[in-house]
Structure 1
Amino acid sequence: MTLRRPFRFSQVDVFSAHGLLGNPLAVVHDAEGLDEETLARFARWTNLSETTFLLPPTDPAADYRVRIFTTGGELPFAGHPTLGSAHAWLEAGGVPRRADRVVQECGVGLVPVARRERLAFAAPQLLRSGGVEPGRAGEVLAALGLSPSQVVGMAWVDNGPGWVGVELGSAEQVLAVEPVLALSSQLKVGIIGRWPDPAAGGKDVEVRAFYGDGTDFAEDPVTGSLNAGLAQWLIGAGRLPARYVAGQGARRRRDGRVHVEQREGQIWIGGDTVTTVSGTVSL
């Protein structure tokens, strides 16, 4: 019989100030000693978009190390797990080397997380950017049920998960998209469009995120990595301002808010974080 032991556990709602409206993240603290199969099995069992495991850093410049798992495998980086993990680490008594920021070590390297009005991570460099090859662009349009005339722009905005970004003419168009075909497991697609009157709903743009396994598709509630990539693309191209708020999750009956800001050439992705579950888990 395999000996199991308790680990401290948190479930954090990310990109929501009130809880239950953002994207939940499962966090296992002090996870050293757990083998990779156990990490993957627990991530599948939570059935959340991501589960993270906090570990001692291997880089002396980092405050902690995190491994990020989806139900299908490990990711080198993801946005809402970065904010949620930093929140959980701090709430558990973690003391960062610098009072104004936490430094996370993950698959893409070191990611600074600023401690301001809300936690905000520095967007990592894009691993792939620029135009999308015609065959892949056609696959994206077919999957989302879009015609080329509806698309303002399309680009790779991949910072680890494999995102392709698609800009549509309006937020209303974004909310109206009804995917019709499954995306391949190697492809994740985010769509973005502007609201005509941001003051009315507190949102400048609306974002949605889709991913698939070749036979089906799913929609992520609120997605930090995608918003980081979209900001790098569209602020860099002069099509979005240096500071804006993205709404995401409406079609999933969520109300996420992603606070985007460019400071001295660096994109920061911020969001509120609230612990909704805390206790222990036996692994």
Structure 2
Amino acid sequence: MNRRPFKQVDVFTETPYRGNPLAVVLDGSGLSTQEMQHFTHWTNLSEATFLLPPTHPDADYRVRIFCPGRELPFAGHPTLGSCHAWLEAGGKPRGEHVVQECGIGLVRLRRDGARLAFAAPPLRKSGPLPEEDLALIARGLRISRGDIVGHSWCDNGPNWRGVLLRSADQVLSLQPDAAVLAGLDIGVVGPRGKVGVVAPHGAGEEVAFEVRAFFPGNNGMVEDPVTGSLNAALAQWLIGAGLAPTRYVAAQGTALERAGRVHVVQDAGGEIWIGGASVTCVDGRVTL
């Protein structure tokens, strides 16, 4: 075992312990997949990442992203948190953007003032959800089918199903039934029962949308504090459908007493960037 540089970063917040935490091992060289997965379980966090030398000539670093039970090809808050940790540890991008290599390929990141932002990766699946899924989601969220006023596949690696409700208050009052939503896993390969819920705030509010993210865990349904991959896919859907402006801020984590803020911008070329602040809460070494 070696003592390796390590940071625990809170992502999508400027205030420590109000965002979504991430464990970052800054030198994952020589660790096996099993060792990375075991350490991820030990942290008891939603994700841990391991930074490695890039294998692609255009990348600044490579990252492997793990959650309890499996490795992920891409995830948003681990992307921002890993980049924050890499830069804070002295990483220097070779070009205008930081280029991260991960399971889905290359992801570009840019500095946006005090925040970092990543370019939303292409959707692997889009378009309306099947009606049988919507009926199950409505039952699982304990709402009527008519309360869902919009819906779309939001798959950019993690296979999210996105549903739009009428109001932020309705989103915040949800109390999902884990047993019902777990039925979304039936008959498919891999964990697929991920549901993202979004609704607009009123005019003049600090944030434009309220977001919540639910997925099956070892002890029933889990709610994610702040979810970059989901917000990226929601932005592609909502902006593309004319349901959101080309620049807005989404809140997530409110129901968990967090204060996540996701900054969404569609640039002049049509590319969507997902940004947020990150703060380091733990800085030291870990024995692995």
The aligned counterpart of 1:273 is 278
The answer to whether the 8 Å contact 1:51/1:70 transfers is: yes
Question: Structure 2: how far apart are the matches of 1:87 and 1:181?
Answer: 34
Cα-to-partner distance string for 1:108-150 (whole Å, 9 max, x where unaligned): 1100001121100000000111111122222222221121110
Q: Is the 8 A contact 2:178 2:216 kept in 1?
A: no
What does the per-residue CA deviation read over 1:167-206, in whole Å, with 9 as the maximum and x for residues that have no partner?
A: 000111110111013323322110001111343xx21110
What's 1:42 paired with? Answer: 39
Q: Which amino acid aligns with 1:91?
A: E
In structure 1, what is the equivalent of residue 188 of structure 2? none
Q: Tell me what 1:102 maps to.
A: 98
The yes-or-no answer on 1:250 pairing with 2:254 is yes
Match of 1:176 in 2: 173
Stretches (4+) displaced over 4 A: none
Q: Which blocks of at least 5 consecutive residues in structure 1 are unaligned?
A: none
Q: How does 1:157-172 map to 2 (within 5 A)?
A: 157-172=154-169
Aligned length: 277
- The TM-score normalised by the length of structure 1 is 0.95
Q: Which runs of 5+ in 2 are unaligned?
A: 186-190
RMSD of aligned alpha carbons: 1.2
User: 1:58 and 1:20 mapped to 2: Cα distance?
Assistant: 34
Distance in 1 (CA, whole Å) between partners of 2:69 and 2:135 is 25
CA distance in 2, matches of 1:59, 1:218: 35
In the TM superposition, residue 274 of structure 1 has moved relative to its aligned partner by 0.5
Give the secondary structure class of the aligned counterpart of 1:39: helix
1:58-107 Cα shifts (integer Å, max 9, x gaps): 10000000000001211000000000000000111111102x42000001
Cα deviation digits, residues 200-238 of structure 1 (max 9, x gap)? xx2111000000048710100000000000000010000
Contact 1:142 1:181 in 2 (8 A): no
**SS of match in other structure, 1:174:** helix
| Aligned partner of 1:85 among 82, 85, 88 | 82
Residue of structure 2 in register with 1:282 after alignment? 287
Matched residue type, 1:272: A
Which deviates more, 35-44 or 208-217?
208-217
Q: Distance in 2 between matches of 1:41 and 1:114?
A: 32
Structure-to-structure mapping, 1:124-203, within 5 angstroms = 124-182=121-179, 183=182, 184=185, 185-199=191-205, 202-203=206-207
- Secondary structure at the aligned position of 2:9 is classed as strand
Distance 1:158 1:139 in 2: 19
CA distance in 1, matches of 2:248, 2:24: 29
What is the percent sequence identity of the aligned residues?
56
